[in-house]
A and B are shown apart, each in its own frame.
Chain A
Amino acid sequence: MKLVTAIIKPFKLDEVKDALTEAGIQGMTVSEVKGFGRQKGHKETYRGTEYQIDFVPKVKIELAVADSMEEKVMETLRTAAKTGSIGDGKIFVSDLNSVIRIRTGETGEGAL
């Protein structure tokens, strides 16, 4: 099993969710986060004062998927979240040791 963590542009969330649902994923966790990459921050101006905002708002998506789904999910994410301009985000994949469904106590891929 894999844990897929994607950091994407906030306005892409709906598109990404629809594409992932179509690809067959069973659930996802979404959080509003802030951070910077090579895009760095941006500037905001209030009454003539410029503020350098170092952390840009992003959306973080977390998905736990079966090994067989990994390729498809990665490809779907990459296509749906892409705008082609700087700041599109990143996808991280890591191994997932175990999963438990709290209600039934099921473990492994059956719990996904």
Chain B
Amino acid sequence: MKHSTFLYMWLLVVILSVCCGLATVWAQDGPPSAIDTGDTAWILVSSALVLCMTLPGLALFYGGLVRTKNVLGTLMHTAVILCMISIVWVLLGYTLAFGTDVGGVIGSLEFLFSMGVGQDAFPGTGIPHLTFMVFQLMFAAITVALITGSFAERMKFTALLLFAVLWSVLIYSPLAHWVWGGGWLAEMGALDFAGGAVVHISSGFAALVCALVLGQRKGYGVESMVPHNLPMTVLGTGLLWFGWFGFNAGSALGANGGAASAFVATHIAACAGGCSWMGAEWLRTGKPTMLGLASGIIAGLATITPGAGFVSPLAALLIGLVAGVVCYAAVVLKIRLGYDDSLDVVAIHGVGGFTGILATGLFASVGAQGLFYGNPGQFVIQFVLAVSTLVFVLVGTFVILKIVDLLVGLRVTPEEEEVGLDLSQHSERAYS
């Protein structure tokens, strides 16, 4: 009953939007002179690279970490979020984030259903408005997909769909507006090059709330929950890394020196993060592990994201080294605290993003100055950015989860959890 109510709601939204879209004359201007072909080519490619981070990158990264009985359900979380959030973004999310600022908190509805988003250059860039919109779409999609790691192996599929849509519209879009769309944090001069706050703090701490509200997996701490296929996770790591060049270097919004700077910083931080996590783990447990190395690489990438375009290669190296150790410590702390963030979204993305936003306030030297370059005010702004994002996400995610719980219930039944998501939610098996 509840199940079908949700499906009808979703269907209604889709049909209404398609009707509105059809009734609209799309803005089709001639090729405007301000478009830079090199910039446009790079951002189009970057958009596709960020897509590759989500599917298959993140899907495989997470898929390998769960147990055999949940791998399809886990892959599907990421894949379906990519599809649904892309639609939500084109219809509503984009205008809330990048429409004309209303009171510093939200975008106007001027681009509702992407009306008026055409081939003309996006202000301040040499790329078409459509290109900017689709590049941002990929960010919106991956941010929600990142959260799924925290409630892996136990969330009901209908609850996931509802949560994803509500979270994207009510949390992601406003946040993107505050930081990138001319909102109050942008006005303050907050620096978030490619989404340390908007993507990583937000998904990371939404993940914390999800892990706490949904509770531990059945059998947590008693049964073995060993990853079922680490080579799959390593493949996902490689694809995430590859796509991250589009994520970070693409955030320069042009094919220029800034993009090159972000590209180099991204790569160095990934390598440093991998080395330092592996080293920390080696010292603590006596063995370097493949999963540790892969986790460190992702921690380095997440942590350099907000500062990628603002720091020197040497600063990126330091940020990466710190990221590996801090994020590993956060994983160890999670085990002590006993909350079941199944795939460590909080430790890697939340803590990594938070660290990165603060590090940007310290190390910024390219196009902006941080504390170490004579501008202590920037560090204060970065602190406000990190903390306000954190608080907004914690409260907002909690409210959304409670609403979803009331409407459809968050968790699968204990029997379904025992059988696994693949069979109980989707009636299929990954390996037969």
Contacts and interface: CB of A to CB of B under 8 A. Distances in A.
Interface string A43-76: 0111111111100000000000000000000000
Given A51-B224, A51-B225, A53-B224, 13 more contacts: A45-B289, A46-B289, A46-B291, A47-B291, A47-B295, A47-B331, A48-B332, A48-B335, A49-B335, A50-B285, A51-B226, A52-B224, A53-B226
Contacts of B292: 47
Interface of A: 44-53
B287 A45 contact: yes
B116 interface: no
Contacts of B332: 48
Contacts of A50: 285
Contacts of B285: 45, 48, 50
Nearest to A55: B224
A49 B331 CA distance: 9
Contacts of B227: 46
A73 to B, nearest CB: 36
A46 B281 CA distance: 10
**By CB atoms of chain B within 10 A, which of A45, A50, A51 has the most?**
A45
A103 B159 CA distance: 58
B94 interface: no
Interface string B155-175: 000000000000000000000
B278 to A, nearest CB: 12
B344 interface: yes
A42 to B, nearest CB: 12
Contact of B344 (A44, A45, A47, A51): A47
Interface of B: 224-227, 281, 284-285, 287, 289, 291-292, 295, 328, 331-332, 335, 344
Contacts of B226: 44, 46, 51, 53
Nearest to A53: B224
Contacts of A53: 224, 226
A40 B332 CA distance: 27
B325 to A, nearest CB: 12
A51 B228 CA distance: 14
A50 B331 CA distance: 12
Nearest to B292: A47
Nearest to A54: B224
A48 B224 CA distance: 14
A95 to B, nearest CB: 38
Contacts of A45: 285, 287, 289
Contact of B331 (A44, A48, A51, A52): A48
27 contacts: A44-B226, A45-B285, A45-B287, A45-B289, A46-B226, A46-B227, A46-B289, A46-B291, A47-B292, A47-B295, A47-B331, A47-B344, A48-B281, A48-B284, A48-B285, A48-B328, A48-B331, A48-B332, A48-B335, A49-B335, A50-B285, A51-B224, A51-B225, A51-B226, A52-B224, A53-B224, A53-B226
10 nearest A-B residue pairs (beta carbon): A48-B331, A48-B332, A51-B224, A47-B331, A45-B285, A51-B226, A46-B291, A49-B335, A47-B291, A46-B227
B300 to A, nearest CB: 15
Nearest to B230: A46
B386 to A, nearest CB: 24
A44 B328 CA distance: 17
Nearest to B328: A48
Most buried by B among A45, A46, A47, A49: A47
A47 B289 CA distance: 8
Contacts of B281: 48
B269 to A, nearest CB: 20
A51 B284 CA distance: 16
Contacts of A51: 224-226
A52 to B, nearest CB: 8
A56 to B, nearest CB: 13
A44 B290 CA distance: 13
Contacts of B224: 51-53
A51 B291 CA distance: 14
A11 to B, nearest CB: 20
Contacts of A48: 281, 284-285, 328, 331-332, 335
B25 to A, nearest CB: 53
A47 B288 CA distance: 10
Max chain B CB contacts within 10 Å: which of A48, A49, A51, A53? A48
B181 to A, nearest CB: 36
Contacts of A52: 224
A45 B282 CA distance: 11
Contacts of A46: 226-227, 289, 291
A52 B281 CA distance: 18
B273 to A, nearest CB: 14
A68 to B, nearest CB: 45
Contacts of A47: 291-292, 295, 331, 344
